[in-house]
Each structure stands twice: as C-alpha cells, then as structure tokens.
Amino acid sequence: MSAPRNRQVLLKSRPDGEPTEGNFEIVEGTIPEPAAGQFVARTIYLSLDPYMRGLMNDRESYVEPAKLGEPMPGGAVGQVTRSNHPDYEEGDFVLGDWGWREYGVSDGSGATRKVDPADGPLSYALGVLGMPGMTAYTGLLNLGRPEPGETVVVAAASGAVGSVVGQVGKIKGCRVVGIAGGERKCRYVADELGFDACLDHREPDLPGRLKAACPDGIDVYFENVGGPVFDAVLPLLNRFARVPVCGLVAQYNATELPPGPDRVPLLMQEILVKRLAFEGFIVWDFADQWEEFVADMGGWVRDGLVKYREDVTDGLENAPRQLIGLLKGENFGKKIIRVGADPTPPGRA
C-alpha cells in the first residue's frame, strides 16, 4: 500500500505585481507525525483572503511574510486524525493555521481552536463566524462607531468582510451603501443583504452616483479597497467621519505609485478641516472581543439578520488561481477551497 500523500502548495517565487500561478508550486509530502503535545488534522476547508497578497511580498507587514519553498500560510478548518495533545482528540473539528496543505500539524497555539458543527457549517469558522466576520464587526463597531441615522459606505460589499460590515450597519440603524463589481453582485447586496443601495464600480461616474446615493454625506467609510472608490468617497465624508482602514485590495498588486499630483496635502487638509479620523487596524488588535463577537454574530446569523454567501471551489490545486482571481474581484462571496470531504450534514444557513 502506498503511503498517503500530503499535497501542499508552496510559495515558489515572489510576485512582481499581479501574482501568477508560476509563483506557486504544488508538491507532495508525507503526512506528519504528531509529537507530544501535537495533533495532526486533515484539511477540509481552506480560506482565501486578500491579505494573503501581502504575505507573498518579502516585506514585513502586519503579518510575517510567507517563506519561499514553504506552504502558503492561511486559515483552515480540518478534522483531527491523530492526537498527542491533551485537548484535542481524533474526530474533533479544528480551526488552525497550518496553511495550504492536505494535512497539517499543530500544537494548539496561535489561532487554533475547536469548531463545533452545531454553530453552523464548518466553513463559517473561516468567514462570518471567524476572522473576516470579526474583522468587520470589530472594525466597524470600535473604529467606525456607527450611530443610528448615519450613512455607512463599504466596498467589496458582497465579500466576506464588506457584506458583514453593511449588515451590522443596518442592525445599528444606519443607511448603508455598498459598492461592488458587476450588476449581479449589486443586486444581491441590495436585494438579499438589505443594503439601502449598491453601486457597480465598473459603471461610469462612480463619484456622481455615490453622491446621489449618500444625500446626507458619509459618516463611516469602512476602507477595504482603496483606489477609485476611496477617491469617490473622500469629498463626501462628513465632519467627524470615521474611516477604519482594514484593507486596500485595489492597490495590493501595484508596483508603483500612481502619477501626480501628490494628493497627500489634500488628504491631510480634509482630515484637518473635517476633523476626520483615519485608523488602521487588524482583527487581532481586538482579540479580547472574541466572545462578544461570537455571541452577537452567532445570534444574528441564526436569526437571519446577517446573511452570508460562500464561493466554494474544490481542490487544493486550484487555490493559486482562485487567490489570483480573488484579488481581481472574481469571487462572489467568501472564497473557500474545499480540500477534502466534509463529513458534517449540509449547512442549514
């Protein structure tokens, strides 16, 4: 009998601008043995997220760069196959950070935790009930501080983070305007997610349409894309508007700055005159709000107040191409790679 394979996707080279499949390499390894205090898990779902583009650079950011010749890092949900860890036993479902491989080993440290299938589909631990959902929740509530009647704007509005930002904004009594790529996504955001409006950034005159959709200006702009959306938002920000800066996916592949003039003085002037608050964050800055997040978001998902859409692709080998597409907005909903069979019943959400 041949040894079971353990396919892995390695970072082979660092991209110059837009990543290509050639930056990745698929190899087969052996399934690791758990040492004392470790467990081994079989990957079921892998999360693809925009921040992974940053990992591919050889530059310290808010996360360690991925290492050349090693598997791409990233969150995954799996099932424990062997355990020498006192808290994990065979069959347990776990969230872990062993990255892009079919089998991973973990000592339970870091973001590792058990996943209870009773809380929802396993993959939700990578989305609305996990890092992206918590990113939306903590960024909007701590830094955006939306008040009833205010206007919240968020781009990538059908995505894992944007969709939750908007729906939590609605729960908080705000007017919520989304921005997304394409008519189909926009219809979903407005009709299914209940945003007050959703604008297609691929259509002409985003600034004019955004102004019309925000007759009282913008009080909270949850920044996760940058680029032309930011340019359209800036003149509409109200006095004392808050801009949580969560991501800048529109510029992640850029290899140089755009041509001038240099608008930094203009941005600073706007910050001064309108008393704007721009604040960068990553989700783990608010790690101590995890329990509160799980209680709130779990309830909202159960009650249908927060809807959630996944875009699932089968096969670890497809992860590179899907990440490349994600950075171009080709996904429709939270991007998930199904690496192995999910033994739980089909999701109820």
Q: Decide if 51 contacts 247 (C-beta within 8 A).
A: yes
The 10 Å Cβ neighbour count of residue 318 is: 17
- Does the CA dihedral 242-243-245-247 come out positive or negative? positive
Q: Which long-range contacts (CB under 8 A, 24 or more apart) does 149-152 make?
A: 149/173, 149/174, 149/175, 150/174, 150/175, 150/219, 150/220, 151/175, 151/176, 151/177, 151/214, 151/216, 151/217, 151/218, 151/219, 151/220, 151/238, 152/176, 152/177, 152/218, 152/219, 152/220, 152/221, 152/222
Nearer to its own copies, 239 or 302 (CB): 239
For residue 280, count CB atoms less than 10 angstroms from its CB and return exposed for 0-12, middle for 13-18, buried for 19 or more. middle
- Contact residues toward its own copies (CB under 8 A) are 61-62, 223, 226-227, 230, 245-248, 251, 254, 256-282, 285
CB-nearer residue toward its own copies: 25 or 270: 270
Residue closer to its own copies, measured from CB, 121 or 162: 162
**Minimum distance between the CB of residue 17 and its own copies, rounded to whole angstroms?**
14
Residue whose CB is less far from its own copies, 40 or 250: 250
Closest distance of CB 57 from its own copies, Å = 11
The residue count for the chain: 349
Q: Shortest approach of its own copies to residue 275 CB, angstroms?
A: 4
* Closer Cβ to its own copies, 262 or 291, answer by number: 262
Burial-class residue 269 by CB neighbours within 10 Å (0-12, 13-18, 19+). exposed
Using the 8-state DSSP alphabet, how is residue 63 labeled?
A: S
For the CB of residue 260, give the shortest distance to its own copies in the complex, in Å: 2
The residue among 236 and 248 lying less far from its own copies, judged by its C-beta, is 248
Min separation Cβ 258 and its own copies, Å: 5
Q: Is 187 exposed, middle or buried (0-12, 13-18, 19+ CB in 10 A)?
A: middle
| Residue number, 204 or 260, with CB nearest to its own copies | 260
From CA 9, how far away is CA 5, in angstroms rounded? 13
Q: How far is the CB of 137 from its own copies (least distance, A)?
A: 17
Phi (first) and psi of residue 45, to 5 degrees: -125, 140
Give 17 or 343: the residue with its C-beta nearer to its own copies.
Answer: 17
Least Å distance, CB 12 to its own copies, is 25
CB of 238 to its own copies, least distance (A): 12
How far apart are alpha carbons 73 and 66 in whole angstroms? 7
